[in-house]
Chain A
Amino acid sequence: MDNQSRKISLQLKSSGVPSKSDLKPFLPSTHRKRKGAYALIECFEEIPCDPCFSACPFKAVKEFENLNDIPVIDFDKCTGCGLCVPECPGLAIFLINENRKDGKATITIPYEFLPLPEKDELVWALNRKGEIEGEAKVVEVKTYPKKSNTTVVTLLIPKEQILTTRHFRRKDQHE
């Protein structure tokens, strides 16, 4: 997996929305996906930033040779603990679990907005362009005081949306 030499798509560079080709090298194998939760690092560009490496207690994020390296995950070491999600300054790490008995998936999203949603609340799942994809149920809300008070929210979503849902919006009263 040589993430360093990959080209970023024109779509991503000009609109901020990654294409399938941008995402592909970052995805785990089907075999790994079946084993349970995994972290997806959507950091496509060489920028001077490395806190994901030290955030991982299992050393699943490869040590950086240079501060500007693109992070690489060893999915055999990733236990799906999710500690990297509230750490990433770019809010670019998501925890995905598509190995559920109910056939659905969960995605854990860093969320820096107030008021926070509540557990079991129904919210609008938003895609990478901010368009509503459908309803999603909040299954967990967790704030990490030691990680600059970042909150992460876990949503229950259809499996088909694991690569598209990246944010959510709370419903207005009349919605």
Chain B
Amino acid sequence: MEQVEILVVGGGPAGMMASLSAVQSGANVTLLEREVKLGGQLIKQTHKFFGSYKEYAGVRGIEIAEKLTSLLKEQEDKGKISILTEAELVVFYHDQTLGYTYKGALRTLKTQKMIFTTGASERMLPFPGNDLPGVYAAGAIQTLMNVNGVLPGEKYLMVGAGNIGLIVSYQLLQAGAKVLGVVEAMPRIGGYLVHASKIRRMGVPIYTSHTILEAHGKDRVEEAVIIAVDNKYKPIPGTEKVIKVDVISLAVGLNPLGELLEQRGIKFCYIPELGGFVPWHDENLRTSHPDVYVAGDLAGIEEATTAMLQGELAGLVVAGELGYGNLEEQNKIGLVYQRLKEFRTGPKSEKTREGQLKLIDG
């Protein structure tokens, strides 16, 4: 059976940075990514990223993915990392044996340490008519549009005014689609206000304190009914409004994707602030299993910048545990902690901070 030192599962921003920092410390890494390309969510993000100019702020998500991919390819040429795409981890056996599919076959490997960076999946919303063709998750629309060049409809209603809802609305406008409104149950816009202003000045109304009541249509979505809600989020009868759309796009949150870890009996905690059930982990991103680490959206829904920082941290820590890394690399751990902490000091990270406290309490 194939033996590896460090296995990284998932080639998004967290997994790519984890692989890079572990390799740069001197360790050998195997990276598994189930998609054709590395990059995770980044490969569909055509907008410029926020964050610190010291990292990748001002750079478009797709360009960040390209940069990280080329850094990884350099290490691959040096033989320090083995990158397998279209390789999906499917089982986590006893000990450190894992099974993945590659080119139609099931393969197994044994590893010393693991870093899981499998990301998250999009949430569905219950309402009558949500099973009609034309109801999509926002991230799925973003993939269809920006990766595959397919626009699934002409007129859209976006549900959710968090960053994903606002950004995907803007990108739909860029693709030439019509966005007839964004509904948000909270009385305030959840995403960054600059993203909201961008779609407002293109004429997209944002209906705060509103929700979707139902979708109508014969063979597919033909209209959406939205309704105002009171301060307890209860619909106010008589405020219904019909909007003629062919696509309803749901941007109502993400859930960490941790089935493989659950399968292995790793401890999970229910922390709504981090996106629901998350693998418990300590400051160094180590789970209840001493050889399994997590980073990125799997460790708690946040952003690509924090996913990259967490990945970097996990890679450094794990390489250090295996005896790699000089003093400089070990000092980096402190710096990464600090950058993560500073990023999370703002009001927009309040939830993350609360979630982190709950994690400490277990």
Question: What is the minimal beta-carbon distance from B43 to any residue of chain A, in angstroms?
Answer: 16
Of the stretches A24-32, A99-107, A123-131, A155-163, the one at the interface is A123-131
Would you list which residues of chain B between 43 and 64 have a CB under 8 Å from chain A?
47-53, 57-60, 63
Q: Is A15 located at the chain interface by the 8 A CB criterion? A: yes
- 18 pairs from A and B in contact (CB 8 Å cutoff): A8-B193, A13-B188, A14-B189, A16-B200, A17-B200, A47-B192, A47-B348, A49-B51, A49-B52, A50-B53, A50-B57, A51-B58, A89-B49, A90-B50, A112-B174, A126-B203, A128-B200, A130-B201
Residue of B nearest to A12 (CB): B193
CB-based contact A127/B201 at 8 Å: yes
Would you list which residues of chain A between 41 and 55 have a CB under 8 Å from chain B?
42-51, 53-55
- Quick one: which of A13, A66, A89, A131 contacts B47, CB cutoff 8 A? A89
A72 to B149, CA, bound (A): 40
Q: Is A78 located at the chain interface by the 8 A CB criterion? A: no
A12 to B198, CA, bound (A): 12
Q: Is A67 located at the chain interface by the 8 A CB criterion? A: yes
- Quick one: which of A12, A13, A89, A128 contacts B58, CB cutoff 8 A? A89
CB-based contact A47/B50 at 8 Å: yes
Question: What is the minimal beta-carbon distance from B115 to any residue of chain A, in angstroms?
Answer: 24
CB-based contact A14/B343 at 8 Å: no
CB-based contact A14/B208 at 8 Å: yes
Q: Is A21 located at the chain interface by the 8 A CB criterion? A: no
Of B50, B345, B347, which is in contact with the most chain A CB atoms at under 10 Å from its CB? B50
State the main secondary structure of chain A at its contact with B: loop
CB-based contact A67/B343 at 8 Å: yes
Question: What is the minimal beta-carbon distance from A86 to any residue of chain B, in angstroms?
Answer: 9
A92 to B345, CA, bound (A): 22
Would you list which residues of chain B between 273 and 317 have a CB under 8 Å from chain A?
305
A126 to B204, CA, bound (A): 12
Question: What is the minimal beta-carbon distance from A94 to any residue of chain B, in angstroms?
Answer: 11
Known: A16-B196, A92-B197. A48 touches B348 (CB 8 A): yes
Q: Is B195 located at the chain interface by the 8 A CB criterion? A: yes
CB-based contact A46/B348 at 8 Å: yes
Q: Is B199 located at the chain interface by the 8 A CB criterion? A: yes
A51 to B243, CA, bound (A): 39
Top-4 shortest CB links A-B: A130-B203, A16-B196, A90-B194, A68-B346
A90 to B344, CA, bound (A): 19
Q: A49-B57, A89-B58 are in contact. List 15 more A-B contacts (CB 8 A).
A: A12-B193, A14-B188, A15-B208, A42-B197, A45-B192, A45-B193, A49-B51, A51-B53, A89-B48, A90-B194, A90-B198, A91-B194, A130-B202, A147-B58, A167-B201
Question: What is the minimal beta-carbon distance from A122 to any residue of chain B, in angstroms?
Answer: 19
Q: Is B342 located at the chain interface by the 8 A CB criterion? A: yes
Q: Is A98 located at the chain interface by the 8 A CB criterion? A: no
Known: A16-B206, A66-B342, A150-B48. A128 touches B348 (CB 8 A): no
A50 to B51, CA, bound (A): 7
Q: Mark A133-154, 1 if CB is under 8 A from B, else 0.
A: 0000000000000011010000
Would you list which residues of chain B between 181 and 226 have a CB under 8 Å from chain A?
187-189, 192-204, 206, 208-209
CB-based contact B201/A126 at 8 Å: yes
Question: What is the minimal beta-carbon distance from A128 to any residue of chain B, in angstroms?
Answer: 5
Residue of A nearest to B192 (CB): A47
Q: Is A33 located at the chain interface by the 8 A CB criterion? A: no
Q: Is B349 located at the chain interface by the 8 A CB criterion? A: yes
Residue of A nearest to B184 (CB): A14
Q: Mark A83-99, 1 if CB is under 8 A from B, else 0.
A: 00001111110000000
A68 to B52, CA, bound (A): 10
A94 to B194, CA, bound (A): 13
Question: What is the minimal beta-carbon distance from A109 to any residue of chain B, in angstroms?
Answer: 9
Residue of A nearest to B47 (CB): A89
Known: A47-B50, A148-B48. A16 touches B342 (CB 8 A): no
Residue of B nearest to A49 (CB): B50
Question: What is the minimal beta-carbon distance from B48 to any residue of chain A, in angstroms?
Answer: 4
CB-based contact B201/A128 at 8 Å: yes
A48 proximity list for chain B (CB < 8 A): 50-52, 305, 342-344, 346, 348-349
CB-based contact B50/A89 at 8 Å: yes
B197 proximity list for chain A (CB < 8 A): 16-18, 42, 92, 128, 166
CB-based contact A90/B342 at 8 Å: no
Residue of A nearest to B63 (CB): A148
Question: What is the minimal beta-carbon distance from A155 to any residue of chain B, in angstroms?
Answer: 13
A127 proximity list for chain B (CB < 8 A): 201
A14 to B228, CA, bound (A): 14
Residue of B nearest to A18 (CB): B197
B347 proximity list for chain A (CB < 8 A): 45-46, 68
